[in-house]
Amino acid sequence: MNTAESFAELPVTPKPPLRRFHQARWDEPIIFELSRPGRRGLAVPEPGAARVELPESVRRAEPPRLPELSQQLVLRHYLRLSQENLGADLNVDVGQGTCTMKYSPKVNDRFAAAVAEVHPLQHEDTVQGVLEIYWRLERMLAEISGLSRVSLQPGSGSAAIYANIAMIRAYHAATGGGARDQVITTMFSHPSNAACAKTAGYEVITLMPDADGLPDIEALRAAVGPRTAALMITNPEDTGIFNPRIQEFVDLVHEAGGLACYDQANANGILGITRARDAGFDLCHFNLHKTFSTPHACGGPAAGACGVSAELAPFLPGPVVTRDGDAYRLETPPRSIGKIRPFLGVTPNIVRAYAWIMALGGDGLRQVAETAALNNNYLMHKVLQIRGASAPWGRRRIEQVRYSWQELSEETGVHSEEIGVRAADFGVHYWTSHHPYVVPEPFTLEPTESYTKEDLDEYAAILAHVAEEARRDPELVKGAPYNQTIHKIDPTPLDDPKAWAPTWRAYVRKHRP
């Protein structure tokens, strides 16, 4: 018999409208502070053969000052850190616009693990299954883009953008266009289009949005000419607006002798709806960790895919997989730009992306796109009911929206970054936008196909609540976070060479001598 005095009643009262979230707070030290000499996390095999004496010129003089920990201590430390991290599996991750934070099916991780012990230079005969997956995924992405051939070698979206630029450069060099030294991009295309083009030696021309929020076609007319190597453009752009005149953009560049390259990182809303080749593009790239669901892994490993027309196919990075009857072989294209990364590609993610498409099929991909657009328009409908939030230009959006808190910020003095940090106190997060902030006080939401209506309602309710807080008590929002592992950070040392501490040894030297 329970003799305790009752202090609460059944039934349990309903949950409050917003989640009473608190992130794990283990107050975990830096790993070096957990070290004690003599401890060890892993034993290694004894040599079993005569030891090799190293000459002094190559021998390490002092042991590295790595921490010394028992195995369980290492595990516990890292599991605590993992709990202090908010993965997409744990939250309504619709706030990382442009990044397509969709569900990464768990079963695909099992398939990826199956290649763990495969070496990339095994003889072709011993890896036919892996090569077939490469070949099949290539054919699928060729169908999805309408382009002829696809390289799965690049390690990420930006690496794929760079690979496309390198192919453009090689194509012009081979066809007498070597004097073309300019690449045109747009302000709402991913910054890597501009940055990769510059790295590859091009002058970059950036088209600004016009009064309708679209890249200014008059500015394009003024920019194209004999110096144009290529147009590198995202569509829908980071605003979520599909450029209805995209074919004119492509035609203008083609007429000037340039190539048109489509950044399809944001392809999730248009799978099976419209294709790169149908608008005349010569090249495109996909991020397999975005549209095709491979997990984002704290920022990689990822994978990129470059699609090219038949004219560009000889320049693809090598090798590519070809089919010869029932056998799959590796082949380096005749005028290949060479290697973008080691070996064939990020195979575990190639396997995952292939499995994801196989789980959906053509109709499923179209349903992904339509549902991503539906979710986005539904969330936009909810967000625009929040006083102080807006979607500049008021146009239709496909799969994401770059919103603005300008009105709220002018009223309260609270900035978009601060609202995002306060929202994290309720177990979600959002990202503002790339720099520069062309849309003032920006935030970019992309709900993908993965989240339920109730998830979207919850997310919008959190933003509405924080906006209300900003009006009622701006200092409360500016002082956030409160329910996180740590409290508000003072970032000033990070830009001061005398104070910055990019490693523990730099920190100890500068601040704990």
Judged by CB under 8 A, the chain residues 43 through 102 that form the site for other proteins are: 43-52, 54-55, 57-61, 63-69, 71, 74-75, 77-90, 93, 96, 99, 101-102
Tokens representing 15 are 């949950």
Contact present, 122 and 460 (Cβ < 8 Å): no
Q: Which of 163, 282, 167 is nearest to 233 (CA)?
A: 282
Q: Judged by CB, which is closer to other proteins: 10, or 116?
A: 116
Query: How many residues in the shown chain lie near other proteins by CB under 8 A?
Result: 207
Binding of residue 175 to other proteins (CB under 8 A): no
| Residues of this chain, 443-462, that bind other proteins according to CB under 8 A | 449-453
Q: How many residues comprise the chain? A: 513
- What x/- string results for residues 307 through 336 when contact with other proteins is judged by CB under 8 A? ------------------------------
CB under 8 Å, gap of 24 or more: what pairs does 103-109 form? 103/293, 103/448, 103/450, 104/293, 104/294, 104/295, 104/296, 104/352, 105/293, 105/355, 105/356, 105/359, 107/355, 108/293, 108/294, 108/351, 108/352, 108/355, 108/356, 109/295, 109/352
Q: Judged by CB, which is closer to other proteins: 337, or 445?
A: 337
The secondary structure of 130-156 as a DSSP string is HHHHHHHHHHHHHHHH--SEEE---SS
Q: Give least dist CB 305 to other proteins, A.
A: 14
> Residues 124, 396, 410, 472: which binds other proteins (CB under 8 A)?
396
Q: Give least dist CB 33 to other proteins, A.
A: 10
The secondary structure of 313-348 as a DSSP string is GGGS-S-EEEEETTEEEEE--TT----SSSSS--HH
| Residues of this chain, 362-391, that bind other proteins according to CB under 8 A | 362-368, 370-371, 373-378, 381
Q: Give least dist CB 185 to other proteins, A.
A: 9
| Residues of this chain, 455-494, that bind other proteins according to CB under 8 A | 479, 481, 484-494
CA 488/CA 478 separation, integer angstroms: 9
Tokens representing 408 are 């709220």
400-414 b/e (C-beta count within 10 Å ≥ 16 → b) = bbbbbbbebbeebeb
| Residues of this chain, 177-196, that bind other proteins according to CB under 8 A | 191-192, 194-196
> Residues 275, 285, 402, 415: which binds other proteins (CB under 8 A)?
275
Which one of the spans 140-148, 403-411, 437-445, 465-473 is the region binding other proteins (CB under 8 A)?
140-148
> Residues 124, 174, 175, 201: which binds other proteins (CB under 8 A)?
201
Binding of residue 174 to other proteins (CB under 8 A): no
Report residue 34: phi and psi, to 5°: -95, 0
Q: Judged by CB, which is closer to other proteins: 313, or 419?
A: 419
Binding of residue 221 to other proteins (CB under 8 A): no
